[in-house]
Amino acid sequence: QVQLVESGGGLVQAGGSLRLSCTASGRSTSNYAMAWFRQTPGKEREFVAAVSGSSGTPYYSDSVKGRFTISRDNAKNTGYLQMNNLEPEDTAVYYCAASIAWSTWLMARTSSYHYWGQGTQVTVST
């Protein structure tokens, strides 16, 4: 019912910034919670940030809090992840996700999300 496509990944130097976009199609996602995860080879998909569909309250993992900002533009059916002060440890494939049934207690679990994008590579060099 919903298709998600990420874009905006690339190669940046440590300390730089990058903005990822997640465009949804198929139906309006204004009432869906949206999240960003990241994954490196051999590791589980890691929670990065989420924003609720109802209140718009943002949530962040400890590793990115203060550096990343999640936002959404419901008129464009698009979500964003602004990444500042990037570190080499941020290198990963970043995925956006959406869910119509969501709670803060389970927001960091991949199983909480119904829809996923294909991922976009972010590489932070030293």
| Paired tokens of 72 | 């959404």
In this predicted structure, what is the pLDDT of residue 102?
85
Q: How far apart are the first and last CA of the chain?
A: 41
**17: nearest Cα among 85, 89, 69:** 85
In this predicted structure, what is the pLDDT of residue 42?
92
Instruction: Say if residue 64 is exposed, middle or buried (CB neighbours under 10 Å; 0-12, 13-18, 19+).
Output: buried
Round to whole Å and give the CA distance between 25 and 116: 12
Token pair 């941020």 in the structure block, residue: 90
In this predicted structure, what is the pLDDT of residue 29?
83
In this predicted structure, what is the pLDDT of residue 28?
82
Token pair 């298709």 in the structure block, residue: 3
In this predicted structure, what is the pLDDT of residue 44?
95
Round to whole Å and give the CA distance between 94 and 47: 10
pLDDT 10s digit of each residue in the chain, 126 long? 899 999 999 999 999 999 999 999 988 888 899 999 999 999 999 999 999 987 789 999 999 999 999 999 988 999 999 999 999 999 999 999 999 888 889 999 999 999 999 999 999 999
